[in-house]
Amino acid sequence: MKKTFLLLAAIIVHYAGFAQCTTTNATTCQCETQGQTNCDLLPDITISWAALQSYSSGPTEYAQTGNGVNNGRLKVSGATPNIGHGPLNVFGQWDSAGVTWSYFLCGSDTVLANVSNFTCANGNPIPMQMPLQRIYHKTGNTMSAWTRFMGPVTYHGGGSLYNDEWGIFTLRIKNPAIIDPTEWSIVGTGHKLGFCLMDYNECSDFTNHCKDDNTVYNAGNNLQNNDFPNWGLGGGSYGCSSYGQGISSGYEDIYNESLDGMWINIPEGTCNGDYWIVYEVDPHDYFLEEDETNNFTAIPFTLTQQLPSGSPVIKITPDRSDYVCSGSNEQIKLTATAGLSYLWSTTETTQSIMAGAGTYSVAVTNYCGSGSASYTVISSATPAAPTGTDDTVCSGTSATLGATGNNINWFDDNGAAVGTGNTFVTPILTTTTTYYTQDQTVFPGSINYVGKTDNNGAGTNNNSSSYLMFDVFRPVTIKSVKVYASGAGNRTITIWDEIGILVQGGIFDIPDGESRVNLNFTLPPGKNYSIRTSANPNLYRNNANVTFPYNMTDTLSITGTNQGAQYYYFFYDWEVELGGATCTSPQTPVTAYVEDCTGIDDNWDLSNNISVYPNPSSGNFTLDIIMPGSGDALVKVTDLVGREIYSRQLLNLSGKHTSAISLENVSRGIYMLDVKIGKKNYIRKLVVQ
C-alpha cells in the first residue's frame, strides 16, 4: 500500500522558513519568472529515472509461462516529483447545502449533478467524470485560486477520483539516431490508472528523485527542499480524498510495482536483449503545468527471462480495419514487430508506415534474428456523388427533394443527419434552404464466431458482477452476443481495459429468454479486456462444461473469468467482424427554393399543411391550416352516410390559422372532415369517443 504518514517534524522545520507562502498568504511566494508579483503558481510534474531504476529493487521481469497472472510482465515503479512553483491540486466533488456535487460528461454534455444518484439522461451507460484542477494565483501578497476542468476520466462511482492513464510505460529498442526516447520502436506497452495523487515524500527524502531534468538518463541536478522557493506550497499533506488530492511543491508521489497495473506486457516471441523502459506521466496533458515537455524518462534494461536468439516471428499489425475507400486520401497505419532495423517495400525504415491500398512487406532484424512479413490493404469502391433534384415551393409549405443513389443520406448545413432515402420531404419552410445528400456503400468484413456456443451444461441465472476476460490481437468489431435472460428489461453492457478504463458501453433492451444482443463494439488490440453487465443482471451463467480459452485464430481469445475457469458468464456465441468498411460519396447540395406566393394555386398539394387534433376526442377538435399564400377555406363535417353536421367558411387565410371544431352533441362514431381550398378537397377521418 502507499505510505500514508508524513514526517511532521520536518514539515514544521521547513515551514518556519516559508511561513508566508501558503495557499492563503502569498507574501513570500515567488513566481516562475523572477521579479514578477502577479502570476499563476503552477506545478511541474516529472518522472524520476532513479526511482524507475532502483526503487523497490528496480523493475521485475517475468517469463511468459510459470508465473500465473504475471506471465510475460515487466513490473515497474514510478516516482513523480513536483518541481514547480505551485501545487498540483485536483478535486472531483464538493459539498453544498448538505448535497455532494460533481461534474459529469454525458456524451458531449457537461452536467453538474448530485453524486449519490446520478445517471446520464441521454442513455450513456456510464458517465465520465470531469474533475477540476485548482490553480493558485499570486497578486502581490494576496493569494487567490481559479479552477479548470482536467478530464474527462472514467467514473468509478461514489467518492472516487481516478486519473485515466496517469502513467504510460513502454519497452522500447533504442535508436541511436533519435534523441527522444518516446520516438523509439515499441516492443510492449502498459498503462496505469491513477487512483490517488498524494504527498508521499519530500524531495529531501530521496537524494536522486527530484532533479531539474529527469528526461535524460543518469543526468540532472539534484533538488532538495531548500532549492524550492515555494517549498511545501499546497500543505504537504495531500491524501486520497476526492475532495482534494495532489502533490505539493517540492514533494513527490510514488506508485510501487506491487500495485495493480504497474507493468508492461512483453509480447510472446520477444527475445532476450538490451532494451529501454520509457515512462511517461500525464501523457494526455490533463493538468496545466509550467513545462509540458518534461513528463518522461527512460532507463536501460536487459531482458533475461524471454526467448533466446532464434527464428523471429515478424508481424504487421494495422491500427484499424484493412479497407480504404478508393479515390480518397484515406490511409491506415501499419506497424511491424519491434526491431533493430526495418526495411519496407516502400523503402521506409521506420517501425510504422502510413499505407493506402496495396500490398506491403517489411524485413525486420531484432534480437531473435531476421525475418519478414507482408500485408494487403484492400481498396473499396467509393460511390459517385448523387445527382440532386431541387424543388420550388411557396413559403409555408414543404419541399420534396430527390437524389440518385443506392443508400442515400440527407444532412442540413450544420452536418446533422435529417433523413434517408432517394426522396426527402423537408419541414415546412419560409426561406430558401439547401440540404446535402450523400451516397454510401457498406463493405462487410469477415464474420466469425467465438466463445461457448450456448448455455448447455450445469448453471443458473446469476446476479453477480462477475465477468469474462479476453485478449484482442487485431482490430475487431464485436457485432453481437447471445444471452439467456430471466425477465425482460434493460441491461448495461460495458467493456473495460485491464486497468479499469471504460472502453465501450451501451444500454440494451433484452427480452426474456434466449436472444441475441447487437453490441457493435469496435476494439483495438489489447490484453485482459473484460465484458461486464449492470448490477443484478439475472442472466444465465454456466458452472460446468466450460473449456477456456475460446479462440478465434490470430484475432481474439476469451481467456477466462475473474472467478476462475469453472464458470462462463453471461455472453455466448460472440459474433466478431474482422475488416469491413463504409465508403461515402462526395456530398451534393440540393436546394429548396422558397417563393413568397399570393393567392392559391390549384397545382399546390397542401396535404402536409392541414392537421386536426386531438383525434380521437370527446367531440372538441382543433384544426390547423398553414396557408402558403392567401385564400379561403370551406370546412365541412359529415357522417358516414353523407349528412352534413358542421360547416364553416374561413376567409382570407394567410400563414398559420387555428380554429376549433365542436361536435359535442353528436353520437360517438366516425365522421369525415372535408377542407376545401381552391379546387382541392382534403379529407380527414374524425373519431368521436
pLDDT in tens, 646-676: 999 998 888 889 999 999 889 999 999 999 9
Considering the domain architecture, whether residues 522 and 615 belong to the same structural domain is answered as no
Considering the domain architecture, whether residues 388 and 521 belong to the same structural domain is answered as yes
Secondary structure of residue 278 in the 3-state scheme: strand
Considering the domain architecture, whether residues 547 and 460 belong to the same structural domain is answered as yes
Q: Domain for residue 117, yes or no?
A: no
Considering the domain architecture, whether residues 416 and 438 belong to the same structural domain is answered as yes
19 pLDDT band (50/70/90 cuts)? low
332 pLDDT band (50/70/90 cuts)? very high
Query: How many other CB atoms are there within 10 angstroms of residue 347's CB atom?
Result: 6
Phi and psi of 220, rounded to 5°? 95, 145
367-382 pLDDT, tens digit per residue, is 999 999 999 999 999 9
The pLDDT score that the predictor gives to residue 598 is 64
Considering the domain architecture, whether residues 582 and 543 belong to the same structural domain is answered as yes
Q: Domain for residue 587, yes or no?
A: yes
CATH number of the domain within which 676 lies: 2.60.40.3080
Considering the domain architecture, whether residues 347 and 385 belong to the same structural domain is answered as no
- Which DSSP helix (H) or strand (E) runs through 91? strand 88-91
Q: What is the pTM of this model?
A: 0.79
Q: Domain for residue 311, yes or no?
A: no
Type of residue found at 422: N
Eight-class DSSP state of 249 = T
181-226 pLDDT, tens digit per residue, is 999 999 999 999 888 999 999 999 998 999 999 999 999 999 999 9
Considering the domain architecture, whether residues 651 and 530 belong to the same structural domain is answered as no
Q: Which of 167, 165, 160 is nearest to 127 (CA)?
A: 160
Outline where 122-189 has alpha helix (H). Answer: none
Considering the domain architecture, whether residues 438 and 519 belong to the same structural domain is answered as yes
Outline where 211-271 has alpha helix (H). Answer: none
Are the CB atoms for 569 and 466 separated by under 8 Å?
yes
> Residue 616: is the preceding peptide bond cis (ω within 30°)?
yes
Type of residue found at 185: S
Are the CB atoms for 683 and 672 separated by under 8 Å?
yes
Secondary structure of residue 183 in the 3-state scheme: helix
Is pLDDT of 580 > 90? Answer: no
Q: Domain for residue 124, yes or no?
A: no
Considering the domain architecture, whether residues 80 and 182 belong to the same structural domain is answered as yes
**Average pLDDT estimate for 559-570:** 95
The pLDDT score that the predictor gives to residue 599 is 66
C-alpha cell at 205: 527524502
The pLDDT score that the predictor gives to residue 606 is 85
Mean pLDDT, the chain, as a whole number? 91
- Which DSSP helix (H) or strand (E) runs through 16? helix 8-17
Residue reference for cell 507482408: 374
Considering the domain architecture, whether residues 356 and 398 belong to the same structural domain is answered as no
Q: Domain for residue 310, yes or no?
A: no
The pLDDT score that the predictor gives to residue 13 is 33
11 pLDDT band (50/70/90 cuts)? very low
The pLDDT score that the predictor gives to residue 640 is 87
Q: Among the three residues 537, 569, 596, which one is the final residue of a domain in this structure?
A: 596
Q: Residue 437: CB partners within 8 Å, gap ≥ 6?
A: 386, 388, 401, 403, 405, 408, 409, 410, 411, 424, 587, 588, 590
Is pLDDT of 422 > 80? Answer: yes
Q: Domain for residue 50, yes or no?
A: yes
Q: Residue 54: CB partners within 8 Å, gap ≥ 6?
A: none
Considering the domain architecture, whether residues 193 and 269 belong to the same structural domain is answered as yes
263-309 pLDDT, tens digit per residue, is 999 999 999 999 999 999 999 999 999 999 999 999 999 999 999 99
Q: Among the three residues 380, 403, 431, which one is the final residue of a domain in this structure?
A: 380
**Average pLDDT estimate for 619-643:** 89
Q: Which domain holds residue 353?
A: 316-380
Query: How many other CB atoms are there within 10 angstroms of residue 202's CB atom?
Result: 25
Q: Domain for residue 126, yes or no?
A: no
The pLDDT score that the predictor gives to residue 2 is 42
Task: Compute the distance between CA of residue 82 and CA of residue 294 in angstroms, rounded to an integer.
Answer: 11
Q: Domain for residue 45, yes or no?
A: yes
Are the CB atoms for 85 and 230 separated by under 8 Å?
yes
124 pLDDT band (50/70/90 cuts)? low
Phi and psi of 251, rounded to 5°? -120, 170
Question: 423-443 as b/e, with b when 16 or more CB fall inside 10 Å?
Answer: ebebebbeeebebbbbbbbee
Q: Among the three residues 279, 303, 327, which one is the final residue of a domain in this structure?
A: 303
C-alpha cell at 296: 518522461
137-163 pLDDT, tens digit per residue, is 999 999 999 999 987 898 887 778 888
Number of domains in the chain: 4
The pLDDT score that the predictor gives to residue 14 is 36
Considering the domain architecture, whether residues 372 and 291 belong to the same structural domain is answered as no
> Residue 475: is the preceding peptide bond cis (ω within 30°)?
no
User: DSSP E strands: which ranges in 195-326?
Assistant: 201-202, 245-247, 251-255, 263-265, 273-281, 296-303, 316-318, 323-325
